Amino acid sequence: MKRFLFLIFIIFASSISYSQLGEKIYYKSPIYVEAGSGYQKYSIGDTSLSLLYFPVSVTLPISSELSVSISNNPYMITRKLAASEVDVSSLSDTKISARYVFLNRKALLNVFANIPTGKTKLELSEFDIFTDLGLSILKYRVTSLGEGFNIGAGLNYAFQISKKSTVGIGVSYNNRAEYQPINWERIQKDEVFKYNAPDELGFNLSYFSSITDKFRISLDLFYTTYSYAQINSIDIYEPGGLISLIAALSFSTGEINHLLLLNPRFYGENKQKRLNNWISFKSSFQLDAEYKISFNLFNEIIMTGLLQARNYGEYQDNWHGRIYTMHESRLYSAGLGLNIPLYDLLSLNALAKYNTGNVTMTQDMDFNGFEASFRINYAF
């Protein structure tokens, strides 16, 4: 049972869907196809973890109000330690959603599902990779190799409060089904490991204002609460609630566009059940900041400069199949991107980024990494 208790933190931390960052933009009419590839690699101490991923999504209009989309993100992962190397490759889970706009396009109903086409019942070596991907300061594009069937829905409504300002409100719910994350029979033949991730209930309040033609601001406040996580139908972990604010400021100076994003997040106190007693772990605060500058390089080719910073206070996170207290984590990034229009409805986006920072677990550990990605968008 102690193994069960220890694993619950790892699985939950790596499977949070971040549904509070849900879509705010209503669907546009053409068929929309997006495909690409990306590469991420970080080195921390004696560990190197690289991820190659191939996201693809298709959005299909059923009518002017209704659309359906489907997406997947196949991946190849390599983790190198001082004395070993492990590779994992698979499809990810398939995401399906249907969006319906109504009330003169002021309201949006979104129904979504996670189809378990990814990898579950992991071997221990694969599970260790899964935990390393979940180190939240690094934000790998694949943090779950596979999970169970999930289904949920969200409803948003937006209304104008002035000619230049809009307010939106919304609610969403995500129901998660039980699944087997680990091939437990290899560890303990007489025990079963069935994990039921917490359901999520989220609320959001949004504000957008176009103060001038060149100066816009948006504020999005989210609150997400979670049910208990269960192992074999027994409550074992109570996640704290999540409060998140996304503040965006965009403005232009001549022909140059600027975007500043701030995302402070507060994670409430969480509790773990040990020997029929509930043990509390304190709340934590995290901050992401981002600045983008973009301009027309030539012939409508847009160049983008990117600066990012992340600063996370003390919290619990995954590494090498264990839960550690991260006393402090910092990351700094710089990157360049291009948006290249190929035809009227076809464009190519590319981005390269260098990252550096440090995490403090049992000791202070520096890390560095590189990311590169490209994406082709086609509407017809």
The pLDDT score that the predictor gives to residue 1 is 46
Region 2-379: CATH code: 2.40.160
- Torsion, Cα 204 210 216 218, to 10 degrees, reads -10
The pLDDT score that the predictor gives to residue 275 is 81
Residue 311: pLDDT band with limits 50, 70, 90: very high
Q: Using the predicted structure, report yes or no on whether residue 5 has a pLDDT greater than 80.
A: no
The pLDDT score that the predictor gives to residue 303 is 97
The pLDDT score that the predictor gives to residue 125 is 80
Segment 292-308 shows an average pLDDT of 95
Q: Please tell me which residue, 283 or 28, carries the higher pLDDT value.
A: 283
The pLDDT score that the predictor gives to residue 12 is 55
The pLDDT score that the predictor gives to residue 363 is 85
Cα(348)–Cα(36) distance, rounded to whole angstroms?
A: 9
Mean pLDDT of the chain: 89
3-class state of residue 123 by DSSP: coil
User: Model confidence over 161-174: pLDDT tens digits?
Assistant: 999 999 999 999 99
Residue 81: pLDDT band with limits 50, 70, 90: confident
Candidates 359, 373, 353; CA nearest to 310 is 359
Q: Using the predicted structure, report yes or no on whether residue 272 has a pLDDT greater than 70.
A: yes
Cα(155)–Cα(104) distance, rounded to whole angstroms?
A: 15
Q: Which of 24-28, 142-146, 178-182, 264-268 has the lowest mean pLDDT?
A: 24-28
Candidates 286, 370, 377, 290; CA nearest to 339 is 377
The pLDDT score that the predictor gives to residue 13 is 53
The pLDDT score that the predictor gives to residue 26 is 40
Q: What is the DSSP letter of 186?
A: G
The pLDDT score that the predictor gives to residue 2 is 47
Residues in the chain: 380
The pLDDT score that the predictor gives to residue 190 is 73
Segment 197-201 shows an average pLDDT of 96
Q: Using the predicted structure, report yes or no on whether residue 331 has a pLDDT greater than 70.
A: yes
Q: Using the predicted structure, report yes or no on whether residue 187 has a pLDDT greater than 80.
A: no
Identify whether the C-beta of residue 218 lies closer than 8 Å to the C-beta of residue 247: yes
The pLDDT score that the predictor gives to residue 19 is 40
The pLDDT score that the predictor gives to residue 11 is 54
Residue 193: pLDDT band with limits 50, 70, 90: confident
Q: pTM for the whole thing?
A: 0.88
Residue 99: pLDDT band with limits 50, 70, 90: very high
Q: Which of 5-14, 267-276, 317-326 has the lowest mean pLDDT?
A: 5-14
The pLDDT score that the predictor gives to residue 341 is 92
User: Model confidence over 11-59: pLDDT tens digits?
Assistant: 555 554 434 333 444 444 578 899 999 999 999 988 999 999 999 999 9
- Among all chains, which residue has been given the structure tokens 């001082």? 82
Angle between the N-to-C axes of helices 2-15 and 124-133, in degrees from 0 to 180, rounded to the nearest 10: 40
Q: Using the predicted structure, report yes or no on whether residue 189 has a pLDDT greater than 90.
A: no
- Among all chains, which residue has been given the structure tokens 């204002």? 209
The pLDDT score that the predictor gives to residue 29 is 54
Strands (E) located in 321-363: 322-326, 328-343, 346-360
3-class state of residue 337 by DSSP: strand
Candidates 162, 129, 156; CA nearest to 47 is 129
Domain boundaries, the chain: 2-379
User: Model confidence over 210-259: pLDDT tens digits?
Assistant: 999 899 999 999 999 999 999 888 998 899 999 999 999 999 999 999 99
Candidates 324, 315, 321; CA nearest to 131 is 321
